[in-house]
Amino acid sequence: MTAKHDKGRLAEELVVRALLRDGYDVLEQNVRVGRLELDIIARRGEVLAVIEVRTRGSGSWGTALESVTIEKQRRIRRAAEILWARRYSKVAGLERVRFDVVAVDLESPGEPALDYIEAAFV
């Protein structure tokens, strides 16, 4: 495992804890859909949230949020469409999918900082 991979896993675990505190049910993590992977699938009420978790080091170009490019959004959307059709479209009470992005700053002084953007893209 690489340091980058370890940071990614830590960031995802921090996001899961925050989601649980905020009343979400975390349904799946690191879901493989073909060659694509979705970080976190969570539910709150009628919404299925597909959550992309991003971290960036101090030497990175751009911010964590900027790293979710149009191409990355397209891949996430496609994987979510497949997952919705295969697993969630017939689940009672689920009515829609939302795409959220969470930027996790593991290098901030004190506790790691989470910047959670609901409905970050469509």
pTM reported for the whole predicted model: 0.90
**Highest CATH level, class, for 3-121:** alpha beta
Domain boundaries, the chain: 3-121
Surface-to-core class of residue 48, CB atoms within 10 Å of its CB (0-12 exposed, 13-18 middle, 19+ buried): buried
pLDDT > 70? residue 57: no
The percent of residues in the chain predicted with pLDDT above 70, rounded, is: 91
pLDDT > 70? residue 60: no
41 contacts 31 by C-beta, under 8 angstroms? yes
pLDDT > 70? residue 59: no
pLDDT > 80? residue 2: no
Stretch (H or E) spanning 93? none
Q: Which residue has the tokens 């149009």?
A: 70
Surface-to-core class of residue 94, CB atoms within 10 Å of its CB (0-12 exposed, 13-18 middle, 19+ buried): middle
Mean pLDDT of the chain: 91
Q: What whole-number distance in Å separates Cα of residue 65 and Cα of residue 21?
A: 23
Task: Say what the alpha-carbon torsion angle 35, 40, 72, 58 is, to the nearest 10 degrees.
Answer: -120
